């Protein structure tokens, strides 16, 4: 976590993220210092609620990048339609207009569980003698 983020902020962000999975740096390039961070979807719902603490945390993460002026990409593996549909259940996705310097990109993977099973089958097929 960036040093500028206090425990109180993290607790607030945990309440705003599904299953309390806050944005966290999971990898840093040894060559460029670029980062990858992961989190669960925000609980924005159909009212598109916001969390200043969540926005501050994402900003602090973006400032961990070597090029602070570069776009901070939020990659959502789901199709956009699925993410929008999750709003009806109280969840949703990051609205880039609320996260300075960010852009949300959707990868269009329909069902991650099907993808995971397919990867397992591919790995098994490759590993066969």
> Which long-range contacts does 67-75 make (Cβ < 8 Å, 24+ apart)?
69/101, 71/101, 71/102, 71/103, 72/99, 72/101, 72/102, 72/103, 73/102, 73/103, 73/104, 73/105, 74/99, 74/102, 74/103, 74/104, 74/105, 75/105, 75/107
**For all residues of the chain together, what is the average pLDDT?**
91
Q: Bridge partners of 73?
A: 103
- pTM beyond 0.85, yes or no: no
Per-residue pLDDT tens digits for 57-86: 999 999 888 887 888 899 998 999 999 999
Per-residue pLDDT tens digits for 2-56: 899 999 999 999 999 999 999 999 999 898 888 899 999 999 999 999 999 999 9
Asked whether residue 129 carries a pLDDT value surpassing 70, the answer given is: no
Q: What percent of the chain has pLDDT over 70?
A: 99
């Amino acid at each position: 976590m960036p040093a500028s983020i206090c425990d109180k902020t993290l607790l607030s962000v945990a309440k705003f993220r599904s299953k309390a999975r806050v944005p966290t740096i999971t990898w840093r390039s040894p060559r460029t210092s670029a980062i990858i961070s992961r989190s669960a979807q925000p609980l924005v719902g159909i009212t598109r609620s916001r969390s200043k603490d969540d926005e501050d945390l994402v900003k602090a993460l973006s400032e961990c990048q070597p090029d602070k002026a570069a776009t901070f990409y939020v990659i959502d593996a789901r199709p956009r339609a699925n993410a929008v549909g999750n709003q009806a259940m109280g969840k949703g996705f990051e609205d880039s207009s609320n996260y300075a310097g960010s852009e949300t990109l959707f990868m269009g993977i329909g069902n991650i569980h099907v993808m995971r099973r397919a990867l397992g089958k591919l790995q098994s097929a490759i590993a066969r003698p």
